[in-house]
Amino acid sequence: MIETVNEHRFKDAFQQLRPDNFTYEGLGTLFTQLEEFEEATDSPMELDVIALCCEFTEYENIGEFWLDYGGEDAMEEYPDIEAIEAHTMVFRIPERLDRNTLKYVESESFIIQQF
């Protein structure tokens, strides 16, 4: 039995189980990418919030990624987003809502599939 989930229900599921794993914008990006994967492979996915939180991580910027993946060694091995993309899927988050000004601003945030 499969239930179709729209973006709103997708985001709600994360907010209920893991509210701090992804930003609101990050969840929108992740939903879009997973939906495109489903369409490309013609195979529906099960919504498993915990599994997706284990498989994907959102980073505010590349500096946060470097800290998570070993500091200076990571900086040398992955000097930019393109180097990370050579090793895993990277979903860039194009813009985010700046909560101070309530305006959308360019974002350095991205989501990777763990490797």
- Per-residue pLDDT tens digits for 42-92: 998 999 999 999 999 999 999 999 999 998 999 999 999 999 999 999 999
Does residue 93 lie within any of the structural domains? yes
State the average pLDDT for the chain: 90
Q: Please report how the helices 24-41 and 7-17 are oriented relative to each other, as an axis angle in degrees rounded to 10.
A: 120
Does residue 37 lie within any of the structural domains? yes
Neighbours of 10 (CB within 10 A): 20
Does residue 97 lie within any of the structural domains? yes
Does residue 45 lie within any of the structural domains? yes
Identify which of 28, 50, 38 has the alpha carbon closest to the alpha carbon of residue 4.
Answer: 38
Instruction: Give the residue numbers spanning the domain of 106.
Output: 7-113
C-alpha 16/C-alpha 4 separation (Å) is 18
Contact criterion met (CB below 8 Å) for 34 and 45:
yes
Count of domains for the chain: 1
Across-strand partners of 95?
Answer: 106
